[in-house]
Structure 1
Amino acid sequence: MSPSHYKFPVNLEGTVMSKKTTHVMYDRDKGDWYVKDGGNSRASRRGFDTQRDAQDWGRNHSRNVGSELLTHRKDNNRIRSADSHGNDPCPPKDKA
């Protein structure tokens, strides 16, 4: 089945992707953590001293908007973890 036949957005490998994303990232220039919604040019909120504080706020925000929370590493900004909040296209088998 081609990716265009999926109900949800699909990447090139054919893996289903979440529609909305919220990112917890570190800004080296300003020295703080911030939360940003995918596709937006500006942060939803910034000025967090720790990654945990940014994650806590971002998790609550992600639940409110029904997005996937992606936490990035401080050193290279690669995704460290992902939590789905909202319409999960691939729920755990025990929850289905």
Structure 2
Amino acid sequence: MGKNQWVVHHDNKWAVKGEGNSRVTKTFNTQKEAANHAREIAKNQKSEVIIQNRHGRIRSKDSYGNDPCPPKDREH
């Protein structure tokens, strides 16, 4: 399982950042673009996507790994 991918507000843009990394992977103009990029990485690495709002609070989480106890997620 790879690193979880975080979508964070960064310098008035949205960025994808691997969990534990000090630098962002890539920045985007919209949160939607960043989330789509993070999902592609998470699918390849079988990890999770965690999306934060502008204030740093977790807005959404989604797992793309082999979760033995998958939640009943109705969001996606």
TM class by shorter chain equals 0.7 to 0.9
CA distance in 2, matches of 1:91, 1:19: 17
Structure having the higher Rg: 1
Provide the residue aligned with 2:5 in structure 1.
22
Cα deviation code 1:25-52 (max 9, x no counterpart):
001xx21100001011111112x11100
| Percent identity over paired residues | 43
Show structure 2 runs of 5+ residues with no match: none
**Structure number with higher strand proportion:** 2
Letter in 1 for 2:61: A
Aligned to 2:57: 78
Query: Conserved in 1, the CA contact under 8 Å of 2:2 and 2:45?
Result: no
The alignment yields a C-alpha RMSD, in angstroms, of 1.9
The 1:19/1:38 distance shift into structure 2, 3 A limit, reads same
State the TM-score, normalized to the length of structure 2: 0.83
Count of paired positions: 72
**TM value normalised by structure 1:** 0.67
Aligned amino acid, residue 33 of structure 1: W
